[in-house]
A and B are shown apart, each in its own frame.
Chain A
Amino acid sequence: MLGILQFLKGYVRMKIWGVSPERFLNLCSNKNILLWDIRKDGDIYTMCISLSAFLQLRPIARKTGVRVVVLQKFGLPFLLPGLLKRKIFIAGLLLCVTFWIISYRFVWDITLEGNYQITQEVFTDFLASQQVRVGMRKTDLDISTLEREIRRAFPEVTWTSARLSGTRLEISIKENDAPILEEPKPVEGGQNLVSEYAGVITSMIVRSGVPMVKIGDVVEEGTLLVEGRVPIYNDDATVREYLYITADADITVEHSVTYQDTLPTTYIQKSYTGRRSTRPFVRLGGREIKLPQERPYLVYDTVTQGHTPMLLEKLSIPLSWGQYVYREYMNVEHEYTLKQAEALLVEKELQFLATLEEKGVHIIEKDVKIEEGSVCWTMEGWILVDQLTGRLVPIAAEEPVPEAAE
């Protein structure tokens, strides 16, 4: 910091010699003149002194009989006259500073992070609907309103943060990992709970309704598990009326799931020929300028290599450049070996089992085999699982309400 101040104010390196240089130093210090980097070389002293203090030295030098000669000049006051002669340089400097100052008042980049379910395109459309876009003025951006609108428009977003970092608008969101549960709507006339699978009941917790089965019972698909029609009895044990409610219970059924998966015996793999061509581009805002080029190869893929400059690590400007790399390839047909097919099918099976586990299905036993066919590999078998069951169906309008006993 001291060095910067010295540079701004300007200083000189001088040499002194004469009758009494020590007295010269003492007088300087008495007049509060700062001297630094004082060295002695033979009879000559060299030292640094600020430009303003140097102008006060004449009476001291005369009094002490010392001669003063400037060796070097440093700092802005000595550079400025030379710089001012270079008009184009000064104009460029001023234009550059003006460009920075003006550019700093706009948003030149918008980044989004933390999105898994919400795609970038959906979010970009939402921002456009909120008049938040690249090139807008920073003063037109209301961050708290934007955050509120994000939470309102996307219910799955549990937390959001938007902040301006230089000319970049950084939006961070956190999505709800747990599924959004909807409150079941009460249905008029009540609902029964019926089995979705055929199997043996292993556990039952009934919260509302009349259980029609018990643990150990064998049920078929569609078997009534819990009835939503609850009888209300008179004192003489006759039914006075029925109360129609929505049955609610956690009932698990042990049943087997048939598993089948296939894998073609052959697959297509890209084989790069090694031939590639490039096509440079410059992107300015939403416009892209690139050299005209014919279709490079019959079959090819494209890799985009881009560079976005950042001025002073904060000032993002809407200019980027790079190149498209076209890589030629050929589609080559390969045949799976037994090991490869087994590995792929087992991986798919494990994914399927993991999906079941995620749904809360308990896997008890499995028996799966791999067979080779003429056109594909087949994996089939059964998996014994313990799974929650229950599907709500409206109660059929039958059985008229019995008349209350007189």
Chain B
Amino acid sequence: MRKKQAEGTSRREAIIDSLSLPKDILLGALRVTLTGCQEAWVENYKGILEYTECQILLQGKNCQVCFEGQRLSIEYYTNEDMKISGCIRCVRYQ
């Protein structure tokens, strides 16, 4: 079953790649935009899993993304996108 699902995903990715379509829209992939190490805009997330001053863990459709740093804060948070500011040291996908 899982094998079939993986095959389906890879086939869909191949089609999207061949047609040069945006993956963030069609696959719901996380979209992270960084401006230096001070600001980050994130789209296509499902929600916040953990929020501390040193770490913000977000749930995406297929993976999780973790922002690590100091004095991290969320400038705004909506259903569509969010902005993280602070001193970002590391962006890690899990």
B49 touches A22 (CB 8 A): yes
B78 touches A32 (CB 8 A): yes
- Interface size (A, Cβ < 8 Å)? 18
B50 touches A22 (CB 8 A): yes
Please name all residues of chain B whose beta carbon is closer than 8 Å to the beta carbon of A35 when the two chains form the complex.
74, 76-78
Instruction: Give chain B nearest CB distance to A53 CB in angstroms.
Output: 11
Please name all residues of chain B whose beta carbon is closer than 8 Å to the beta carbon of A47 when the two chains form the complex.
74
Contact of A26 among B48, B52, B53, B73 (CB under 8 A): B48
Instruction: Give chain B nearest CB distance to A2 CB in angstroms.
Output: 10
Contact of B77 among A21, A23, A25 (CB under 8 A): A25
B77 touches A36 (CB 8 A): yes
A293 at the B interface (CB under 8 A): no
Interface string of A22-53 (1 = CB under 8 A from B): 11011011101011111110000101000000
CB under 8 Å from chain B, chain A span 39-73? 39-40, 45, 47
A30 touches B79 (CB 8 A): yes
Instruction: Give chain A nearest CB distance to B58 CB in angstroms.
Output: 10
Please name all residues of chain B whose beta carbon is closer than 8 Å to the beta carbon of A21 when the two chains form the complex.
51
A22 touches B47 (CB 8 A): yes
Contact of A34 among B46, B73, B76 (CB under 8 A): B76
Please name all residues of chain B whose beta carbon is closer than 8 Å to the beta carbon of A38 when the two chains form the complex.
51, 73-77
List chain B positions with a Cβ less than 8 A from chain A.
Answer: 46-53, 73-79
Q: Interface on chain A toward B: helix, strand, loop, or mixed SS?
A: mixed
A25 touches B51 (CB 8 A): yes
B78 touches A26 (CB 8 A): no
Closest to B84 in A: A38
B76 touches A36 (CB 8 A): yes
Please name all residues of chain A whose beta carbon is closer than 8 Å to the beta carbon of B47 when the two chains form the complex.
22-23, 25-26, 29
Instruction: Give chain A nearest CB distance to B1 CB in angstroms.
Output: 29
Q: Once the chains are docked, how many angstroms separate the CA of A102 from the CA of B77?
A: 46
Closest to A37 in B: B75
Please name all residues of chain B whose beta carbon is closer than 8 Å to the beta carbon of A23 when the two chains form the complex.
47
Please name all residues of chain A whose beta carbon is closer than 8 Å to the beta carbon of B51 when the two chains form the complex.
21-22, 25, 38, 40, 45
Q: Once the chains are docked, how many angstroms separate the CA of A21 from the CA of B51?
A: 9
B52 touches A40 (CB 8 A): yes
Please name all residues of chain B whose beta carbon is closer than 8 Å to the beta carbon of A37 when the two chains form the complex.
73, 75-76
Closest to B50 in A: A22
B79 touches A40 (CB 8 A): no
Closest to B83 in A: A36
B49 touches A39 (CB 8 A): no
Q: Once the chains are docked, how many angstroms separate the CA of A21 from the CA of B78?
A: 15
Q: Once the chains are docked, how many angstroms separate the CA of A38 from the CA of B47?
A: 15
Q: Once the chains are docked, how many angstroms separate the CA of A26 from the CA of B49?
A: 9
Closest to A33 in B: B78
* A-B complex: 4 closest residue pairs judged by Cβ atoms: A26-B47, A38-B74, A36-B76, A29-B79
Please name all residues of chain A whose beta carbon is closer than 8 Å to the beta carbon of B49 when the two chains form the complex.
22
Instruction: Give chain A nearest CB distance to B47 CB in angstroms.
Output: 4
Instruction: Give chain B nearest CB distance to A46 CB in angstroms.
Output: 10
Instruction: Give chain B nearest CB distance to A66 CB in angstroms.
Output: 13
Please name all residues of chain A whose beta carbon is closer than 8 Å to the beta carbon of B79 when the two chains form the complex.
29-30, 32
Instruction: Give chain A nearest CB distance to B57 CB in angstroms.
Output: 9
- Having A23-B47, A32-B78, A34-B76, one finds 13 other A-B pairs with CB under 8 Å, namely A25-B48, A29-B77, A29-B78, A29-B79, A30-B79, A34-B77, A35-B74, A36-B75, A36-B76, A37-B73, A37-B76, A38-B76, A47-B74
Please name all residues of chain A whose beta carbon is closer than 8 Å to the beta carbon of B50 when the two chains form the complex.
22
Q: Once the chains are docked, how many angstroms separate the CA of A47 from the CA of B78?
A: 13
Closest to A25 in B: B48
Please name all residues of chain B whose beta carbon is closer than 8 Å to the beta carbon of A30 when the two chains form the complex.
79
Instruction: Give chain B nearest CB distance to A6 CB in angstroms.
Output: 12
Q: Once the chains are docked, how many angstroms separate the CA of A222 from the CA of B65?
A: 109
